[in-house]
Amino acid sequence: MTDRIFNELNRQVNEEFYSAYLYLSIVSYFESINLQGFAHWMKAQVQEEIMHAMKFFNYLVERGKKPELLEIKKPETKFESILDAFEKALKHEKYITSRIWELVKISEDEKDYATLDFLKWYVKEQVEEELSVDTILQKLKMISNSNSGLLYLDKEMGKREYPQNIFDKGYID
């Protein structure tokens, strides 16, 4: 693995942890306005992002590299509305998608086919990530200012299942 690939994959560990941090900030917003279903959905998203970070972390270790943890910047904490929170989440997912595509390009340039193969999962995952956030965003736009619609959607959001517990034995190591 070249230094260029290592540095970019190491940076991606940070980007994924930042994603979790941003979504945890959104959880805080949803909790503050008593939307437990939305908070539940976003907590599952936080776990997914930590899982993504750990996959990158573990990959670096498997390739004989020592990940270097970087500072996680403070996430946005002010959201004007539920719609605003999901718009910011979608914008962030699109940014992460662009990062994954850049990692693919770098892997191709450096002829690191193992990393290229590793990144295929993330390419597919980002399609799913953008779709899931955008689907909620479109539903929020449909219900507009309907309190009953919002409460119904909040109840539905609370049904999301958490991914595998990231702290289960054998998951991280």
Q: Which two tokens stand for residue 121?
A: 């999962």
Whether residue 173 is predicted with pLDDT greater than 50 in this model: the reply is no
Q: What is the pTM of this model?
A: 0.90
Q: Tell me which DSSP letter residue 172 carries.
A: -
Cα–Cα distance, 159 to 130 (Å, whole number): 19
pLDDT, tens digit (0-9, with 9 covering 90-100), for 21-45: 999 999 999 999 999 999 999 999 9
Residue where the block lists tokens 């290592």:
6
pLDDT, tens digit (0-9, with 9 covering 90-100), for 83-136: 999 999 999 999 999 999 999 999 999 999 999 999 999 999 999 999 999 999
pLDDT, tens digit (0-9, with 9 covering 90-100), for 46-87: 999 999 999 999 999 999 999 999 999 999 999 999 999 999
Specify the pLDDT at position 171.
46
Angle of CA points 119, 111, 8, to nearest 5°: 50
Lowest mean pLDDT among 8-17, 93-102, 131-140, 152-161: 152-161
Specify the pLDDT at position 29.
97
Residue where the block lists tokens 């976003």:
42
Cα–Cα distance, 164 to 4 (Å, whole number): 32
Specify the pLDDT at position 138.
96
Specify the pLDDT at position 145.
84
- Residue pair 89/133 in contact (Cβ under 8 Å)? The answer is yes
Q: Give the residue among 100, 13, 83 at the shortest CA–CA distance from 50.
A: 13
Specify the pLDDT at position 165.
59
Q: Give the amino acid at 123.
A: V
- CA torsion sign for 35, 37, 53, 105 is negative
